[in-house]
Amino acid sequence: MTSRFVIYFALLSVVGYFYECLAMTIWAGKWENRGFLFGPAIPIYGAGATIGTILFTYFYTSYSYMSVFLISMAASAILEYVVHYVLEKTFHAYWWDYSMAPLNINGRICLPASIGFGIAGLIIIYVINPYIMPKLMAMNDETAQLLALISVALMSADLTASVSVISNFIKRVENTENSINEQMDSFVGSFLDESKAVGNRFYSAMDKIGEKKRKYVDYRFERIAESYGDMYAHVISGIKGFRGNRYSARLNEVLSKVKRKIKRTKE
């Protein structure tokens, strides 16, 4: 039975990816990359669908349309809030932001999205599960175990690779920022020592240094953005923004450069 629920989790993670992309494309009026992984899967959907299916199959077997809707709505809000919080604390990044939506809580959840997930719960329990579950239950144990192992291997590899890319991006931006600051502190310190008696030319020189620094900084961070190929840029572009980190402003700047790079590529 566990193997079948693992397969179910993987399938609904893929279904959730396309649901999310479609919903956000309709909302924004343009295609939006969604999700955390390289592949077309959003595990939070698989987790929510699996939890709901287990709940309504084994624990709460006498249910109505309204109870499915309300429980799905409440459970999805809790799951979405917790996942958003954990991701933000782990990476200082967020993949969705409901700050502009009505009745939101810290931009992590909002009433319209929760209602949408309540409706999704109805679709899963009354439309998707009657079609998928009989096929999974009819599957022989060897096939189910093999497919479950493949699902776990693929999603684990994808998760590991995605976390590695995101962590590498954050570390590169932070290290570059620190390196630039150290170089400029050293250079400006030496320049000040040598230029105390120069007079007005000193201020003119400082303006030129400031301008050169801005160009140099832009060049360094532009190179970081350009160094990510389409696949890596796809993962990074799924991030909505960074906050809560002393480097958040710089990370958001480079993230914008990556997204502009993707836009140029599409055009």
pLDDT per residue of the chain (267 residues) written in tens, 0 to 9: 789 999 999 999 999 988 888 877 776 666 666 778 888 899 999 999 999 999 888 888 788 999 999 999 999 999 999 999 999 999 999 999 999 999 999 999 999 999 999 999 999 999 999 999 999 999 999 999 999 999 999 999 999 999 999 999 999 999 998 888 776 655 555 555 555 555 555 555 555 666 666 777 888 888 898 888 888 888 898 899 999 888 999 999 999 999 888 878 766
- In the prediction, which pLDDT does 218 show? 83
Give the tens place of pLDDT for each residue, 116-142.
999 999 999 999 999 999 999 999 999
pLDDT value at position 207? Answer: 59
Distances (CA, A) of 61 to 6, 53, 56, 182, 245: 21, 10, 5, 63, 46
Q: Which two tokens stand for residue 222?
A: 């532009």
Of the candidates 183, 177, 79, 159, which has an alpha carbon nearest to the alpha carbon of residue 121?
A: 79
- d(Cα 127, Cα 129) in Å, to the nearest integer? 6
What is the pLDDT, as a whole number, of residue 267?
Answer: 62
DSSP the chain: -HHHHHHHHHHHHHHHHHHHHHHHHHHHTS----SSSSSS--HHHHHHHHHHHHIIIII--S--HHHHHHHHHHHHHHHHHHHHHHHHHHHSEES---TTSTTEETTTEEHHHHHHHHHHHHHIIIIIHHHHHHHHHHS-HHHHHHHHHHHHHHHHHHHHHHHHHHHHHHHHHHHHHHHHHHHHHHHHHHHHHH-TT-THHHHHHHHHHHHHHHHHHHHHHHHHHHHS-HHHHHHHHT--EE-SSTTHHHHHHHHHHHHHHHHHHH-
Residue with tokens 């709460």: 60
Whole-number pLDDT of residue 80: 95
pLDDT in tens, 19-38: 888 877 776 666 666 778 88
Determine the pLDDT at residue 189. 54
Within 10 angstroms of residue 237's Cβ, the number of other Cβ atoms is 19
Tokens 């931009």 identify what position? 107
Greatest alpha-carbon span in the chain = 88
At residue 244, the pLDDT reads: 86
Residue ranges covered by each domain of the chain = 2-157, 160-266
Per the structure block, which two tokens stand in for 131? 């079609």
In contact, 124 and 49? CB cutoff 8 Å: yes
